[in-house]
Amino acid sequence: MPYFSTTGMTAFREAEQCMDYDDAVQYAQYVEKKTNQKKTGRTANKDSSKSKVYQAEWKWQESYDQDAPLTEIEAIKYVGRVVKSKLWKELADGKQIYVEMMKDMGYHAATAGRAYGRKIVLAPRHSTKYVILHELAHCAGCMHHDVSFRQTVVKLVSRFMSADAARALKNEFKANGLKMSIRSKILSPTEWLASKNKMKKLRESACF
């Protein structure tokens, strides 16, 4: 038998009552996967949505992030405003964030910014408000670009740019095929088995 957490083992024992062993194992694996997704806000182990997130952000920035880059002093003040907020308290327990500027490589900088837990490092020509909020979303615990990152950065944009900008960013993510929520419902053993059998019949009918 595969190794299961307490949650998975409970699901396996419940599933054994209405399906065979192999299906019960698959059901327990499904429950563990869904439970982990709800807990972490991630739908994949790898940062597979990063490129799609960047594409959506670049298109959105054409309309909503065209102000001049902030200077180092301005960036420090902007970050200070964020970390003192009630929202940041909710997102990151009020964690203090330090700001550094990279060496100025002009517009040829390899990256606009980087996040290191309690520090963000910004490229001088790209240190816009949105780039700062993007890196702060990483500092809030979303060291990826999955659902919880997208939810967090939209909240930050709504509070520190505008509600209109946040709605547009959310819509751009969706238009690029990126989910903004994780389905919270975990199917019961009988619901899961019915869904599996339905998909099996659909695949079989497609072969004829």
Q: What is the DSSP string of 105-143?
A: -GGG-S-SEEE-SSEEEE-GGG--HHHHHHHHHHHTT--
Classify residue 207 by its DSSP letter: T
Q: Which of 150, 69, 64 is nearest to 112 (CA)?
A: 69
* Domain boundaries defined on the chain: 1-40, 50-175
Among left, alpha and beta (phi > 0; psi -120 to 50; other), residue 24 is: alpha
Q: Which tens digits make up the pLDDT trace of 121-151?
A: 999 999 999 999 999 999 999 999 999 999 9
Q: Which tens digits make up the pLDDT trace of 78-109?
A: 999 999 999 999 999 999 999 999 987 666 56
Predicted confidence band of residue 77 (pLDDT cuts 50, 70, 90): very high
Confidence (pLDDT) at 208:
57
Q: How much is the average pLDDT of 151-171?
A: 98
Q: Are 72 and 60 in contact (CB under 8 A)?
A: no
How many Cβ atoms are within 10 Å of 84's Cβ, its own excluded? 11
* Residue carrying the six token digits 């964690």: 95
> Which whole-number Å values give the CA distances from 61 to 53, 65, 112, 130, 166, in the listed order?
12, 5, 13, 8, 11
Confidence (pLDDT) at 111:
86
How many Cα atoms sit within 13 Å of 70 on the Cβ side? Answer: 23
Q: Give the class (CATH, top level) of 50-175.
A: alpha beta
Predicted confidence band of residue 185 (pLDDT cuts 50, 70, 90): confident
Classify residue 29 by its DSSP letter: H
